Amino acid sequence: MNWLQTTSLLVLTFMAVFIQGTWDLPHSWLGAQLSLLPSLVVYAAIQTDVVTLALVSVLGGLWADSLSANPFGLSILPLFWLGFMLHRWRDLLLRELTYAQCVMGIMAGVAVPLLTLLLLLSMGAHPLLGGWSLWQLGVLGVAGGCLTPPTFWLMERLIATFSYQPVKATPFRADREIKRGRH
């Protein structure tokens, strides 16, 4: 089941980067480009192992950077750091609750852009910052909170659809009596 979860998560990561790179409607309406990767990293950190988390962070970061103005590879560190911190404390998190998934999505939607901004500033870049940046950060936080529970639901459905489900019935009928002995 682990390979199925890893494969489906990587396919969803590729599709998420493709969707956020081609679909410009949220950017024109809200003034901020929605990022689907933090929700996938939250799922990978909570439900999978470190190898799958690293694959999602590295490949998702590289794919996203190939379509953005960021330096190539810059998004890997914020995504992996977020995922590693969630993975480290995942036994203490209430991962089945929708409310907790929303809170983790909000935190991830805000933390990844802030860490990316911190890395850009430490590299000597001069990004445009102002009051509009707070609006964009808020939109990314709300989007992360709204997209994380559907990510958990979608991954559970994919795994339930494509994995082997054992039969729960026994081969013996409950309404039959087995008589032992001669007759």
CB burial of residue 34 (10 Å; 0-12, 13-18, 19+)? buried
Domain coordinates of the chain in residue numbers? 2-162
**Single-letter residue type at 64:** A
8 pLDDT more than 70: yes
Backbone angles phi, psi at 91, to 5 degrees: -70, -20
Task: Give the tens place of pLDDT for each residue, 17-59.
Answer: 998 888 877 767 877 788 889 999 999 999 999 999 999 999 9
Mean pLDDT across the stretch 117-123?
Answer: 89
**Residue 152: CB partners within 8 Å, gap ≥ 6?**
43, 47, 101
* pLDDT grade for 127, boundaries at 50, 70 and 90: confident
* pLDDT grade for 172, boundaries at 50, 70 and 90: low
Mean pLDDT across the stretch 113-122?
Answer: 90
CA distance 9 to 14: 9
CB 35 within 8 A of CB 113: yes
Structure tokens at 170: 């026994």
* pLDDT grade for 1, boundaries at 50, 70 and 90: very low
Give all strands (DSSP E) within the chain, no chain letters.
none
Higher pLDDT, 145 or 25: 145
